[in-house]
A and B are shown apart, each in its own frame.
Chain A
Amino acid sequence: MKTLEELAAIREKMKSKVVLREGSSDIRVVVGMATCGIAAGARPVLNAFVEEVAKENLSEKVTVTQTGCIGICQYEPVVEIFEAGKEKVTYVKMTAEKVKRVMDEHIKGGKPVAEYTIGNN
């Protein structure tokens, strides 16, 4: 290593490997992963969010975690999105396919996808 640029390049390249440990970011995506959620297919949903966040280079802004039963088992897989200063958005009956749209329109675009939310199901 000879220059500052090289140092910065390593830092950028490796960042995604450590950023998880910095804890809370602006947006939190929480997937319900109790037995009911898992049975309904919450794991592929969780993994789809993790992959999309990495792919879109949003690891510093968005954290993806799981939680236990939210209490609305008939609507699983349930995903809640928390954003500082905004009201929580609850998505129900999520699938890995729906994740892409939530990423594009909600996480990146700032507009929740109304038709996937609990009010509309």
Chain B
Amino acid sequence: MVIPEDRQLNIVVAVKLVPDTNADKRIDPQTRRLVRSAAETVLNPFDEYAIEAGLQLKEQLADGSSVTIVTMAPESGKEVVRKALAMGADRAVMLSDPAFAGSDVWATAYVLAAGIRRIGFDLVLTGTQSTDAITGELPGALAEYLGVPGLTYAREIHVAAGRVRVKRETDTGYQTLSAPLPALASITKSAAEPRFASLKGIMAAKKKEIAVLRLADLEIAQAVGGDGAKLEVTELTASPARAAGKTVTAADGNAGARTIVAFLKERNLL
């Protein structure tokens, strides 16, 4: 499929609803899953960077291209999704069905891909990870299920002439990658800071559509949700308590600094 250069783009941003990062969290020892009701739900903070990137692309293109938010979440998360609309996204689609509950990364990517195909897309944007599960696997899996190139860890993204180009962060530097649309890119936290949802945006969001798609609305050929999960958490252990720190006592600041520098050098930390 070749996207004509002058066609408006359907930018789809996949987001996750997660427990408030600041709230106390609890794990159910029986199910070994996070107790979701115990914490308040927010947009995954990483995903706000993807929303911002999508909105900026839309503003730069200024040709009627649109940003659609998609999330797999219970309908009770509607008001959280509305925040993305208040930031400026055009519409949202929630993939909500009891059958989706308990999905692992694989099933989530599979269901999201079905939803995104149903919506129609030219460019899919995601965050790099979620603050709850922190697997960082979803963007790759989603690109795979959509059958499009996955350009991960983008700190800059441009779209022109039917292609997407990103500056990709690696441990040692940057890569510039380019791929034809349709494609997927995951956006890092070093991309543009997410905007605030303005008061006008909040008012406008009241009138924007949040559509709900159920299992039956999607082309899904495999078991999803808890039944279809391929990944099982078999055991949970708390990380060991940190050992007590080392206190350096010295005659004066200079001597103290020297001791600390020597300590760090010994461990190749300097």
Task: Determine if chain A interacts with chain B.
Answer: no
